Chains A and B, each alone.
Chain A
Amino acid sequence: MSVVPFIVAGVVVGALYGLAATGLVLTYKTSGIFNFAHGAVGAATAFLFYDLRHLRGLPWPIAFVLSVFVAAPVLGLGLAAMAARLSQAPTVQRVVATVGVLLVVQGAVQLRYGIVPIPFDTPLPTRSFDIGGTIVGLDQLITIGLAAVALAALGVLFRRTRLGLEMRAVVDNGALLDLAGGVPARVRALSWMLGASFAGLSGLLLAPTVGLDAVLLTLLVVQAFGAAAVGRFDNLRLAFWGGVAIGVGQYLLRAPAVRGAVPLIDALPGLDQSLSFLVLFAVLLVAGRRFPTFGVTRPARGLRPWPFPVQVAAVLGALAAVLTLPFLAPSRAPVLIQGAVFVTIFASLYLLVEISGQVSLAHAAFVAVGATTFAHLTRGAGLPWGVGVLGAVLVAVPMGAVVAVPAIRVSGLYLALATLGFGVLVEQMVYSRPVMFGDLGQRFGSRPRFFGLDSDARYFWLCAALAALALALVVVIRRTRLGRLLNAVADEPVALATFGCSPQVTLVLVFCLAAAMAALGGALSVGVVGSVSASGVSPTALVSFNSLLWVAVLALAGRHPLRAPVVAALAMVVAPSFFSSPNMAQYLTIGFGLAALVASVGSGALGRRLELRHPADEARIRYSPVAARLRRPAVSSPEVTVHA
């Protein structure tokens, strides 16, 4: 069979990735906010079309216009307003804000339409033609046509209208953009409306390939991240062609002729789906240093410690709770154990995000590696519990070092994207392999059998004790040399290097440490119910999507090294068990998403309560070097003719 039909199909899908990528880069360049919710916008638009067309019976052109040209741009306007408020915000806050949108949109779609994928036929006519021996569908031609029309419209806008010219001036500006005053609000608003429309069109036309599944569709549009990377997050045209190239590459990897010629492809199942993330990871690794960066990258922190008596009371209270809980609520034992495990996991995330300023979106992968390694060593190889835990921790260390490599090369948003790419790659390409979860997607293991630690109460105490150790480790690190160096790496890695410390070493250390702690959590989590699985919809499931959720939840939980991980675990794992609803996972996703959104951008009463920024940060932003430079009067030309 010839490869031509695969190339045609690849071009069609690739044009849609390219369209989405164009919209993504457009919004990023005009606002400095990278839209993690871009895929969710696409998915939501497709669902809306389905609702209007199939559930309400509107004629398809009306449904099409309402979803792609009305609903999506309105959502875009909302995002533009959000982006405007984030223009000076630190990276974590920028990432968490659009992740919040992603969570809300995705949760809402799942709540409304369920989590079972809905088959969705293309709304386009599917007659096919024979063009020079290749069968081409009319829908394929129309799809390419629509993408071309959208791009042509953008081109006309750029060339023929005032607003478009202004927009192009912003987009073409390769230099660092000072967003505080740089971009006119109308340019930003229009960009976000266009960006959302492009995402919507792309989501709608991609939907027939996977059916209406909120998660899959989001992930499909997120392929645009790889294309945007090809366009260096900077160049619209390159981003579009990057999308086409990724689409063609994906379909070529599926073509029997290619697979026959390159046997390696069959040895790497999932490579086609993951191609975009591979590209994202690789491009950031190789060239990420030269991509545009925006604004302040790190908040300053002002920690107000509790008064000493309150601290003592809190510690004693926590101790009493840990000791008595298993007896007070024996039926909730699994939830409590899982909660304790997640304190360890959140502590390791805190080490990266808060102390080191590294937004890592691959945490679920670290936990999964720990869990499966533990299962292999104990249930698989029959080794003792302790050896299993130790092995899990040790195996995660080199993995942490691997993720540290992008951290050495890039920081801020690009690190977040590189780690996201890494997490998705591991999930799509390694989870299903025998080294991890295997074909069945599940591994088994048990609790330690000595000292009666396999009882619920005692296993809970064990996990709580290890969580306390993890927290103590974080506190100790903060106070010692490593903590100071990590803070310095987060603030000014370049300055640190000019003072003789190798930031690479510091970063590798913290990623190894965090990976090891996360893997410890993973190993312990196997003992909660005796198994661990590769998929799931609960907030604790080890899917890469949850890495985003965890970062958002931790950011919401505050920045105190002891309180934040505990509060995050209580809120995400323990509290939900008190409510019983079949849609709990969706409510949680929406709830955390909303909270993350409000916390990042809100300035009202609720926003202040949840604020990710400390009031002192405002002062810091005011006094930041950038602001200082703006305040500094232009250096008048110095006089050389001063007479001594």
Chain B
Amino acid sequence: MDLTLKVWRQKNREEKGRLETYKVTGISEHASFLEMLDIMNEQLIKEGTEPVAFDHDCREGICGTCSLYINGEAHGPDRKVTTCQLHMRMFKDGETIYIEPWRSAAMPVIKDLIVDRSSFDRIQQSGGFVSVNTSGNTQDANALPIPKMNADKAFDAAACIGCGACVATCKNSSAMLFVAAKVSQFAYLPQGKVEAKQRVLNMVEQMDIEGFGNCTNTGACEVECPKSISIEYIAKMNREFLSASCSSES
């Protein structure tokens, strides 16, 4: 496959940045999208151009770092995949492909296609955990009875890899799906219930401080989420938030 790539280049946080056009040739349709970018970068190095910086780590859809907005969609045209799981057979020979970083005030570009996603970390640090001592005295997992449905719901929410596709794709740059997943994964479990009220209030507050937008229920996030997190978790978070803000004891 021969392709024309329009790639976002930006030296650092401060620089304005621009789209550059690169041509790549002889790409296998079995290559992954990131392999295609590797080939492009080798080509750029040979030409004496600085290679394009992009985030990646596991390359198997679990770390969530490979955040690219490809041809107008988070993680490209395929569904339920991260960029590293996207294959070139989803594209046509001769196609022009736009490759841009996530766009959000709360996730500014650091360099080229890499964004600063520490806003997600700060949201997590504000409440996305359970404060129990787990070292050395781990309980038998079956000691606490948990209804199957709750276990399933918590597990589905816990599938979120924090990739940020929901933010990137949302017209409001809202982080509701991410935060909802992180709130819900604990809210459904007895261990998480202890701090549930404080958790949801703190995490929503941190989300707002970071400058993410407000949800307008377009549903775009659940379509683009590589882990199929449903917006029913957003409703769950809204319930948690409402009940916590109406009844918080502290």
Q: Do A and B bind each other?
A: no
| B interface list, Cβ under 8 A from A | none
